[in-house]
Structure 1
Amino acid sequence: MKLVIKDLSKTYKNGVKALDSLDLEIGVGMFGLLGPNGAGKSSLMRTIATLQKPDSGSIYFGDVNVLEQQNDFRKVLGYLPQDFGVYPNMSALDLLDYFARLKGIAKNSERKEIVKRVLDVTNLYAVRSKSVSGYSGGMKQRFGIAQLLLNNPKLIIVDEPTAGLDPAERHRFLNVLREIGTNHTVIFSTHIVDDVNELCHEMAILNGGKLLARSTPKRAEEELKGLIWNKEVSREEAIEYNKELSILSSKYNQENRINIRVYSQDSLDTAGFVQVEPNLEDVYFVALKND
């Protein structure tokens, strides 16, 4: 089942154009939506999740008109917003049972089976009796995934889910998403390039509410082959190069010198640059610079 977005636009009352005639198709699997803060990612997620109406455009999931058949669509939707609140002083087991009742799962034995399954999938079964308010940030995010899996959704939306997680929690959370992404349509919205590179088969880059690029991470990197150059320079040299070249990123090394990565269709070897293999971060910065 495909999610098909056509000519979607949204301008807020303060004049900010969050979505600008956006067209996008997303199929089964992990789809990464990459963009800086303020790019329109959360606006798109909220619009797809029927939490706000666009000014114009259409969204279809299979044969369901998302904007006109909201109740039907919500039955197959799982949504984890950027800020997911939980009820204090309730165990994960009790809270999931409560959410399952709200989702219409009336039979006690069925609820028990479903709750156990989602706790297993999210690796929370061992701490099922612990209060969710006492969970770590990563555990709370995994609990968020557990609650949205209760109704076996066909489409799952997760908005900036790894922001603020430590490296170990981030990897545990990504492993959970990787597992459920094999048989669901999962839209993974983030500004963290590594998350998309590790997790997603397909991706899009968004900025200013517009679609800048749509590809697979591997294909996007291959398209930059032969166009990315690197050189170790001083801070002063970096400032001068920035005036004449398209510097994508710069990082200090242990010698307190700077490695600059440059996008150029012309050869830079005579200036001491070395051609290097492109990565997804290069793809991201090239798209933003060309916007």
Structure 2
Amino acid sequence: MKLVIKNLSKTYKNSVRALDNLDLEIGAGMFGLLGPNGAGKSSLMRTIATLQKPDTGSIYFGDINVLEQQNEFRKLLGYLPQDFGVYPNMSALDLLHYFARLKGVSNTSQRKEIVDKVLEVTNLFEVRNKSVSGYSGGMKQRFGIAQLLLNDPKLIIVDEPTAGLDPAERHRFLNVLREIGTNNTVIFSTHIVDDVNELCHEMSILNGGRLLERNTPRVAEQKLEGLIWNKEVSREEAIVYNEQLNILSSKYNQDNRINIRVYSTESLQTEGFVQVKPNLEDVYFVALKKD
């Protein structure tokens, strides 16, 4: 089933235009929605999840009119918001059985089978009897995935799920998403370029409520072939180049010098720059710079 969004707009009471006539189609697999904080990602996720109404536009998931058939659509939806609250002093096992009953799974043996399955998928089976309130941040996020899988959703939305996770927890969480993304449509909203690069076969870059790029990560990188240049410079040189060139990013190395990456349609070899292979971070910064 395909998610089709057309002419979606949303302006809040404080006059912030969160979504600006947005058009987007998303098919099966992992889809990355990349953008800085305040780009409109969470507004789009909440609108798709029927938690807020847009000012204009339409959303269809297959034959379902999402904005008019909300109850029917919610049966097919799994949503993990940016801030996922849990009940204290209850084990993951008890909480998942509770959520399963709320979702209409009344048969005890069927419910046990479903709960055990989602615990296995999210690598929480061994800690199923521990209180969720005592879980680490990454475990809580994986529990969030476990609860949304209870009703076998066809569309899964996860909003900034790796923010605040340490590297080990992040990789465990991404592995869980990678597994469920093989059989579902998953929209993965984040400002972390590496997350999209590792997981998603298609992506969009969003800023100011508008789509700046819609492509596969590899094709988006290929479009910048021959246009990205790198040079190691001093801090003083970096300040000068920042006024002269379109610097995308700069990173200190171990010698306390700076590697700068520059977008340029003209050769910079005479300035001592070396042409380098584009990466997704370059794609991201070029899109934001052109906006």
TM-score band, normalised by shorter chain: over 0.9
Map of 2:2 onto structure 1: 2
> Gapped runs of 5+ residues in structure 1?
none
One-letter code of the match for 2:173?
F
Residue identity over aligned pairs, in percent, reads 85
Instruction: Show the 5 A alignment for 1:84-163.
Output: 84-163=84-163
* Aligned partner of residue 230 in structure 1, secondary structure: strand
1:13 CA displacement:
0.2
Map of 1:189 onto structure 2: 189
Whole-Å Cα distance in 2 between the matches of residues 244 and 200 of structure 1? 35
Any runs of at least 4 consecutive aligned residues in structure 1 with deviations exceeding 4 A, and if so which?
Answer: none
Map of 1:258 onto structure 2: 258
Whole-Å Cα distance in 1 between the matches of residues 234 and 16 of structure 2? 39
Map of 1:232 onto structure 2: 232
Whole-Å Cα distance in 2 between the matches of residues 186 and 52 of structure 1? 20
Map of 1:223 onto structure 2: 223
Please tell me whether residue 210 in structure 1 is matched to residue 210 in structure 2. Answer: yes
Whole-Å Cα distance in 2 between the matches of residues 89 and 235 of structure 1? 52
One-letter code of the match for 1:272?
G
Whole-Å Cα distance in 2 between the matches of residues 238 and 125 of structure 1? 51
Whole-Å Cα distance in 2 between the matches of residues 275 and 135 of structure 1? 46
Cα deviation, 1:200-246, whole Å, max 9, x if unaligned, reads: 00000000000000000111111101000001111111111111110
1:254 CA displacement:
1.0
Cα deviation, 1:76-124, whole Å, max 9, x if unaligned, reads: 0000000000000000000000000000111111100000000000000
1:18 CA displacement:
0.2
Cα deviation, 1:229-287, whole Å, max 9, x if unaligned, reads: 00111111111111111000001111111110000000000110000000000000000
CA RMSD of aligned residues (A): 0.4
Map of 1:33 onto structure 2: 33
Please tell me whether residue 200 in structure 1 is matched to residue 192 in structure 2. Answer: no
Map of 1:275 onto structure 2: 275
> Gapped runs of 5+ residues in structure 2?
none
* Aligned partner of residue 100 in structure 2, secondary structure: helix
Whole-Å Cα distance in 2 between the matches of residues 126 and 160 of structure 1? 26
One-letter code of the match for 1:14?
N
TM-score when normalising by structure 1:
1.00
One-letter code of the match for 1:194?
D
Map of 2:165 onto structure 1: 165
Whole-Å Cα distance in 2 between the matches of residues 161 and 171 of structure 1? 12
* Aligned partner of residue 150 in structure 1, secondary structure: helix
Whole-Å Cα distance in 2 between the matches of residues 131 and 235 of structure 1? 50
Whole-Å Cα distance in 2 between the matches of residues 100 and 255 of structure 1? 55
Instruction: Show the 5 A alignment for 1:52-71.
Output: 52-71=52-71
One-letter code of the match for 2:54?
P
Whole-Å Cα distance in 1 between the matches of residues 285 and 40 of structure 2? 17
TM-score when normalising by structure 2:
1.00
Whole-Å Cα distance in 1 between the matches of residues 183 and 58 of structure 2? 25
One-letter code of the match for 1:5?
I
* Aligned partner of residue 213 in structure 1, secondary structure: strand
Whole-Å Cα distance in 1 between the matches of residues 140 and 256 of structure 2? 39
Whole-Å Cα distance in 2 between the matches of residues 266 and 254 of structure 1? 30
One-letter code of the match for 2:114?
I
1:9 CA displacement:
0.2
Map of 1:79 onto structure 2: 79
